[in-house]
Every structure is written in structure tokens, then in C-alpha cells.
Chain A
Amino acid sequence: MTLISRSRRKDRIVLTVAGAVLLLVVPVAALAGVRFTYTLRTVTAGGLFLGAISGSIGSFAVLRKQSLLGDALSHAALPGVGIAFLIAGRQLGALLVGAAAVSLMGVWFISLVTRMTRIKQDTAMGIVLTGWFAVGIGILTFIQQRPDASQSGLDSFIFGQAAAIVRQDVQLLAVVSVVMVVILILNWKEFKLVTFDPEFAKANGYRIGVFTALILGLVVTAVVMGLQLAGVVLMVGMLIGPGIAARQWTDRLEHMVLLAGIIGAIAGSTGAIVSSLDTDLPTGPMIILVNSAVVAISLLFAPGRGVVQDLLRRRDDRKRFAGGGQG
């Protein structure tokens, strides 16, 4: 009995602490003297929402053992940005739509390759990731000759330019966050079942194709929203980092996704604040650094699954059983 209540209590503590940290990020920074100018407020809010969105939906990618998919999706988006520019010019909406469309084509291509050849899924993802990214670079190189090209800032999609986001972008992120939360809640048990046991789901009549597509759609949305902030190369960190970290602290899916969202939000907001402390600190990479620090701490120190605890336990066992010699 103690096993169960201990884990429930642990989860409650972890979630409370995480929530508290998230709420305290801004006040603590303000007390420490950080000036919350309009710019910082905007970028912090943007980082917070983006971190929450990508962290929570990214948990599903982690659980489906498709972490690489996030990377493939974001890299595959680059040619979409270029093609959209060629067709529609420098309209942010068009660029994002192009990114999303080509990204989804990448997913379709991955499943096609996996189904029709002997190539395994992660190999197929690698092909799409590198190949389509290369196509994207090729298109951007072709575009750079055009007079209005440099102004379009297409290159900034590679690494992101978080500092340039404005209030409108944050409003869009907030709306997308709400929509995503609603979709997650509505389809929660279906997402859970389809991720855990797709075979059983299919046998029970679930159209796993539909729900898988929905999860993927949400991942693509997060990726596209994040292109401006973190860029193609760094987006995967925002997607899978929080999920990996959260898994270390909890054994319930509900808590894991919630915790991942909180961790993502913490990383997004803290990274933005850190990048404002001095000049020449790029925001996107700062967010990823905070993210990675949380992942590292979680992998090392989490109770139950952490590396440190494992090592300590093993040492304890050795001490305990080395003494009792064999007959």
C-alpha cells in the first residue's frame, strides 16, 4: 500500500514545486533587478507559451519513441518556407502555412518509405531530416539572388530570431495554446490508448490513423509556431526535452504531460529573461540551454529513475551483500 500512496504523494510534490517555480520565475527575476521592459515581457510571454505547447505535445512524441520525428519535422519545414516565399512573397502567414504543409508531406514520406521498403523508421526519418533540409538550403540559396529576398529574413528560420517577436505573435501563440489544450482534453483517452497500444485500439475499432494524424498535426503546429522563436535546428529540443525530463519525475501520463508543459514554460520564460541580462545573448539558444539543464538534472537526480540514485543503490547493495559471504 505504501508504494502507491508514496508515488501519488511524490507526484503531488513534484507538480506543486514545478508550478511554484513557474509562477516565481518572473517575480524572482524582477526582485533581482531585471527590468521587465515591453520587449522582455513580450519575449518572455512568447517563450512561455511556446515552451508549454511544444513540451506538452512533445511528450507524446517521446512516448511513441519518435523523438527524432520532431527533428525531422522541423528540418523538413525549411523547403516549405522557401517555396511559400516564391509563391506568396513575404507574408508570414503564407510562410508558416508552407512550412506546415511541407512538414506534413515529410511525415507522409517517412511512413511511405517505412511501409514500402525495408528501411526502418528512424532511418527514414534521418533521410527526410537531412535530405529535405538540404533541399531547403538549396531553395534558399536560389532565392537569395532575388532583390527582396534578404529582407524576408528566411535565413532566420534556421536558428530563429526570438527577440523580434511582437505582441501579435504572442497573441497567436496564446490562442494556439488554448486550442491545443482543448484538443488534448477532448481526445485524451484516445491519445493515451493509441500511443500505448495501437494494436488493441485498432482491434477495438479506433481509427488510429485519425488520432495519429491529429497528434502529428499538433506537433507540426508547435514546430511551425516555434520556427520564428527557436528556428528549425533548435526546435527539437523544445519538443522532447521537457517530456524526457518529466518522465523522470512521474509515472502517470496525465502528470507527465502537465509537468512537461510546465517545464517547457519555465525553460521558455527563463531563457528569455537570461538572454536579456546582457547584449549578444541570443534568446533561442538560451531557452535550449535552460531546457537541457533541466533534462540533465532530471536524468541524474530524479528519485526512482535517476542515474545518481541508481549508482548509490547499487553501491549500497554491494556493501550489504558483499559482507554475507557464500557457504
Chain B
Amino acid sequence: MRGRVNSDRYWRRAAKGVALAAGLVLSSAFVFAGGGQESPSIQGSHSADDGVLRTVGTTTQASDLLRILSKGAENVEITGLMGAGVDPHLYKPTERDMRAMNNADVVIYSGLHLEGQFDTVFRALHERGVVVYALSEPVKSGGFVIGGFDRALSKLGSDDPHFWFDPRNWELSVRGLATLLAEIDPEQAEVYRANGETYAVQLELLYAWANEGMRSVPEGQRYIVTSHDAFQYFGAAFGWRMAAIQGISTEDEAGVGDIQQTVDFVIDNRIPVLFIESSIPPGTIQAVIEAIRAEGEEARLGIRELYSDAMGAPGTFGGTYVGMLAENVYTILQSYRDAGVDVVIPEWPAGLDISPPATLFK
């Protein structure tokens, strides 16, 4: 009696082989295609001479500024790389980003290593002849850059990159970028310069308004407590101080010691509110809050998230620089008011182009 040949086993093995091959092909497709490349790609030519000024902005603030300055100008193309809520310290440039930057006439970035994963990219672009401009440059050369974190001033050699939170710094950047655009596109130089001037006036109005409100809080309670150290400039602009769990970059991992120190700080200084940032996982702040409550003290969260590294969605109030800063001010002041602190929330200045939406006042 001949044995049965196990033919169905043959088909099962064939099926497994196909699955195996498919799995391998898919994996390698992922690895070789889209995924985050660190090195700049070699493809992509320089801008064609078709009269279009191609610009790229890395952060939401950079894209926002490009849009404002080029309002009314023709043939200006703006590509923004990072979207709302994206953490620029951790964002890794994609293949598409590389192509856009290689094809651009000018790349605008924030600088001071805010775009933590772009350092080699900017160097390479510069070598290829693309105009690369850091918005922090006029601020740095003006001597307004703050170094490191207060207590770690001696340890850190790097600069705090969140300079744009002081509207007076941003004004410097506005003028700097306007000048650059005028140089690159002399035919529309007037447009850029005029936009720059108008916007500078807006920023001054914003600063005065914010200053009035923020300084109405009693000095002993002027502390912003967040996950990472983004608000030093904001504080310096309005006479407030910062306490953060992580350092100036979200790449740092928070340790137990960092959490504990923050907890002690909040309790000792009787700080009424802690804030979550829009682009950072709230885990560490929540750990701080639980710890504070476990000690029997009160701990409140801000009524809204603060915009730190990234602005809000485009088209919303928080999606523009003025709106973003204003919303942060409202969030802080309203949270303090709800915590029982006597604050003054000044009237929105009439001269500003945009107005806060009703939802902010609910």
C-alpha cells in the first residue's frame, strides 16, 4: 500500500513562502522608501528661472512670517515643513522636505538648534548655494539671546532657541527677513519692506497689551511652570520667571530628580497653576501634579494648553504669531484668575488686524 503523498502540505508551504516573500519585500520597501533620512538627497536641481520665488519655512512661525511679508507680492511660493503641534526639536526631515529645500531659492529657519535634526541639512544646503537664513540671526547679533537655563547657566554652552516669544525679538527678525527678501527679489522690494513696517507696528501694539496684562499679576506669583524650558524669553519680556522639568530641548529625558525638584519648587513658591504645552506629551506634568496632590497640596492645570515650540492650526487664531502669543497670554491670565489671583485682562487693542475669537472668553 503506497503512502499518501501529502500534497496539501506542499500548498501550505508554498503559501507560507509567498507570505514570507511579501513580508520581506514590504519591510525593505519601507526601509528604502519614505522613511526619515538624515542625509540630504542628491537629486533636485536649483530653482528654474521661471520667475517664481520659492521659499521654504521650517517651523510654523517661519512659514507664518513668510506669508505675512509676501502678502501682495506675486509669484512667491511658500512651503512649510512642520505643521501645527509638531515638536521642532525632534522633527526629522523627510524625503519630500529635502526636495523642497533643494529646489528653493531661500530656506528660512528659526535657528539656535531649535530644529535639532536639521544641522547637517542646513550646512549641506549652504554648500549647494541655497540661501539659508536663520530668523534668530538679528536677535543674536543684537545681543538679546539668553543662554541656557538659569541654574544650568554654567553647565550649558548653548543658547535658548525660543527667542521669538519676546515680541521685541520677533520684530528684529521681521525686519531682518524683510531686508533679505528685498535683496533677493528687488523688483518687489517695496512690498516686502512695507509689509515689514506694518507688521512691526502690530508687534509693538501686541507687546504693550501683553505687558500690561502680565505685569498685573503680583510679582511673587509670576512663574510659568511647564514641561520644557521654552518660555524664558516670554518671561523676560514681561517680568515673569520659568520653571521647567526638562531642559531647553525635549530630547532630554526627564529624570526623577527633575520631577522632584519641580514639585518642591511649585510647593515652596505657592505657584497656583501648571501648564501643559501643545507639542509635548503631558506625562511629566501629570506626574508632577499627582506628586503635588499626594503631598496634600493643591495643583491646578491651566485652562488651555500653551503654544510652545509650535503654533496652532493654520486658519485659526492660534495659527498666526500674534494670535499665538495673545492666546498664551489669555490662557495664563485666565488660569490665574480662576485660581483666585487678582489679575487685569486689558482690552484687545483696536489697531491689531486680528481679533481673538469668542471661544477664548467662555
A38 touches B31 (CB 8 A): no
The proximity string for A residues 275-298 relative to B, scoring 1 for CB distances below 8 Å and 0 otherwise, is: 111111111101000000000000
Partner pick for A151 among B16, B282, B284, CB 8 A cutoff = B282
Which of B83-91, B105-113, B132-140, B232-240 lies on the face that meets chain A? B83-91
Minimum CB–CB distance from B153 to chain A (whole Å) comes to 14
B23 touches A282 (CB 8 A): no
B255 touches A38 (CB 8 A): no
A40 touches B256 (CB 8 A): yes
Given known contacts A150-B85, A161-B284, A282-B255, A116 and B17 CB-to-CB distance under 8 angstroms: yes
B-contacting residues, A108-160, CB 8 Å = 109, 112-113, 116-117, 131-132, 134-135, 137-142, 144-153, 155-156, 159-160
Partner pick for B291 among A37, A116, A151, A161, CB 8 A cutoff = A37
Minimum CB–CB distance from B51 to chain A (whole Å) comes to 30
In the complex, which residues of chain A have a beta carbon less than 8 angstroms from the beta carbon of B278? 151
Partner pick for A164 among B84, B260, B286, B313, CB 8 A cutoff = B286
In the complex, which residues of chain B have a beta carbon less than 8 angstroms from the beta carbon of A155? 90
A146 touches B31 (CB 8 A): no
A283 to B260, CA, bound (A): 13
In the complex, which residues of chain A have a beta carbon less than 8 angstroms from the beta carbon of B85? 146-151
A279 touches B16 (CB 8 A): no
A278 to B19, CA, bound (A): 51
The proximity string for B residues 244-273 relative to A, scoring 1 for CB distances below 8 Å and 0 otherwise, is: 000100001111111111010000000000
Interface centre among A135, A279, A280 (most CB of B within 10 A): A279
A146 to B258, CA, bound (A): 29
Question: B358: CB under 8 A from chain A?
Answer: no
Size of interface on B: residues with Cβ below 8 Å to A? 52
Nearest neighbor of B279 in chain A, beta-carbon distance: A150
B256 touches A275 (CB 8 A): yes
Question: B184: CB under 8 A from chain A?
Answer: no
Minimum CB–CB distance from B318 to chain A (whole Å) comes to 11
In the complex, which residues of chain B have a beta carbon less than 8 angstroms from the beta carbon of A37? 260, 263, 291, 295
A147 touches B83 (CB 8 A): yes
A276 touches B257 (CB 8 A): yes
Question: A167: CB under 8 A from chain B?
Answer: yes
Question: A23: CB under 8 A from chain B?
Answer: no
In the complex, which residues of chain B have a beta carbon less than 8 angstroms from the beta carbon of A141? 34-36, 92, 94
In the complex, which residues of chain B have a beta carbon less than 8 angstroms from the beta carbon of A138? 30-31, 34-36
Question: B294: CB under 8 A from chain A?
Answer: yes
Given known contacts A39-B263, A150-B310, A134 and B253 CB-to-CB distance under 8 angstroms: no
A159 to B13, CA, bound (A): 39
Minimum CB–CB distance from A115 to chain B (whole Å) comes to 8
B-contacting residues, A140-195, CB 8 Å = 140-142, 144-153, 155-156, 159-167
B260 touches A144 (CB 8 A): no
In the complex, which residues of chain B have a beta carbon less than 8 angstroms from the beta carbon of A278? 257
Given known contacts A141-B92, A150-B279, A163 and B256 CB-to-CB distance under 8 angstroms: yes
A131 to B245, CA, bound (A): 34
Size of interface on A: residues with Cβ below 8 Å to B? 55
Partner pick for B20 among A40, A113, A134, CB 8 A cutoff = A113
B256 touches A144 (CB 8 A): no
Given known contacts A138-B34, A148-B85, A166-B286, A276 and B255 CB-to-CB distance under 8 angstroms: yes
A38 to B288, CA, bound (A): 9
Partner pick for B258 among A113, A147, A151, A280, CB 8 A cutoff = A280
A282 touches B13 (CB 8 A): no
Minimum CB–CB distance from A154 to chain B (whole Å) comes to 9
In the complex, which residues of chain B have a beta carbon less than 8 angstroms from the beta carbon of A132? 27
In the complex, which residues of chain A have a beta carbon less than 8 angstroms from the beta carbon of B290? 38, 42, 166-167
B13 touches A116 (CB 8 A): yes
A-contacting residues, B92-127, CB 8 Å = 92, 94
In the complex, which residues of chain A have a beta carbon less than 8 angstroms from the beta carbon of B20? 109, 112-113, 116-117
A156 touches B283 (CB 8 A): yes
A147 touches B313 (CB 8 A): yes
B257 touches A280 (CB 8 A): yes
In the complex, which residues of chain B have a beta carbon less than 8 angstroms from the beta carbon of A272? 256
A131 touches B31 (CB 8 A): yes
Question: B287: CB under 8 A from chain A?
Answer: yes
Partner pick for A284 among B253, B280, B295, CB 8 A cutoff = B253
In the complex, which residues of chain A have a beta carbon less than 8 angstroms from the beta carbon of B310? 150
In the complex, which residues of chain B have a beta carbon less than 8 angstroms from the beta carbon of A163? 253-256, 258-259, 284, 287
B253 touches A161 (CB 8 A): yes
Nearest neighbor of B288 in chain A, beta-carbon distance: A39
Minimum CB–CB distance from A153 to chain B (whole Å) comes to 3
Question: B281: CB under 8 A from chain A?
Answer: yes
A147 touches B260 (CB 8 A): no
Minimum CB–CB distance from A103 to chain B (whole Å) comes to 15
Beyond contacts A112-B20, A144-B87, A147-B86: 17 other A-B pairs, Cβ-Cβ < 8 A, are A37-B260, A39-B259, A113-B20, A135-B27, A135-B30, A141-B94, A145-B82, A147-B313, A148-B85, A151-B278, A153-B283, A156-B281, A161-B284, A272-B256, A275-B256, A283-B253, A283-B255
Nearest 7 CB-CB pairings of A with B: A153-B281, A138-B35, A164-B283, A141-B36, A147-B85, A38-B294, A150-B87
Would you give 23 A-B contacts (Cβ < 8 Å), ordered by A? Answer: A39-B260, A42-B290, A116-B16, A131-B28, A134-B27, A138-B34, A138-B36, A144-B87, A144-B91, A149-B86, A150-B86, A150-B279, A151-B282, A161-B253, A163-B256, A164-B254, A275-B255, A275-B257, A276-B256, A279-B258, A280-B255, A281-B257, A282-B255
User: Could you list which residues of chain B lie within 8 angstroms of chain A, going by C-beta atoms?
Assistant: 13, 16-17, 19-20, 23, 27-28, 30-31, 34-36, 82-87, 90-92, 94, 152, 247, 252-261, 263, 278-284, 286-288, 290-291, 294-295, 310, 313
User: Could you list which residues of chain A lie within 8 angstroms of chain B, going by C-beta atoms?
Assistant: 35, 37-40, 42-43, 109, 112-113, 116-117, 131-132, 134-135, 137-142, 144-153, 155-156, 159-167, 272, 275-284, 286
